[in-house]
Amino acid sequence: MGGQVTAVSRNEQYSFSKPNRPFITLLAGLGVEGDVHAGQTIRHQFRMTYEPDLPNLRQVHLMHEELFGELALKGFDMSAGQLGENITTRGVDLLGLPTGALLRLGEDAVVEVTGLRNPCAKINDFRAGLLGEVFALDPGSGEFTFKSGVMAVVRRGGTVRAGDTVGIELPPLPHRPLERV
């Protein structure tokens, strides 16, 4: 069970999108070297104002490339890095992973999945109507569906490039479903 990294991205400044790079370096306990969201405590621009000392459970943002195809069918032309993710994958059911799943990226890096990305209204500033496509209420269950990727913390550092493999190690049972972080 696994997949592949299709793109890696980082940005030194707060900006909605992140430019693609030839590689990124993950730093244990911090995140993506040189990325504005790297750090031991919260780096999300809005949440830093009221929760500055909480642990940073959003060190690395991973997005499944398959979402771009789904969005294209609804008229949204998207590509890697545009939704602010650091690592874009193919062939990995990121949204179906349990909390605590380990993803082995390339030869050395390991991240632990902490939860679902909670999409914010800035997505609509980027593309009008996009929020409704990545964040929806299921009328049958009354539950929200979050499709804009997962967040993780770096457990073991290393270099990650497009083309690297993604290995998955599930935590012990019982599995806890992903929640927003």
Domain boundaries, the chain: 2-169
Evaluate if pTM is beyond 0.85.
yes
**Low-confidence winner among 1-5, 44-48, 148-152 (lowest mean pLDDT):** 44-48
Per residue in 100-138, pLDDT (tens digit) is 999 999 999 999 999 999 887 788 989 999 998 998 777
- Tokens representing residue 148 in the block: 């804009």
User: What is the pLDDT, as a whole number, of residue 46?
Assistant: 65
Q: Where are the beta strands (DSSP E) in 40-173?
A: 60-64, 87-90, 102-105, 109-116, 135-137, 144-146, 150-156, 158-160, 165-169
Query: CA 92, CA 136: separation in Å to the nearest integer?
Result: 21
Q: Would you say 124 and 131 are in contact if contact means Cβ atoms under 8 Å apart?
A: yes
What CATH number is given for 2-169 in this structure?
2.40.33.20
Alpha carbons within 13 angstroms on the beta-carbon side of residue 25 total: 3
pLDDT > 80? residue 2:
no
pLDDT digits (tens, 9 = 90+) for 28-79: 999 999 999 999 988 776 666 777 788 999 999 999 999 999 999 999 999 9
Beta strands 135-137 and 60-64, pairing class: unpaired
Q: Which residues contact 77 (CB under 8 A, 6 or more apart)?
A: none
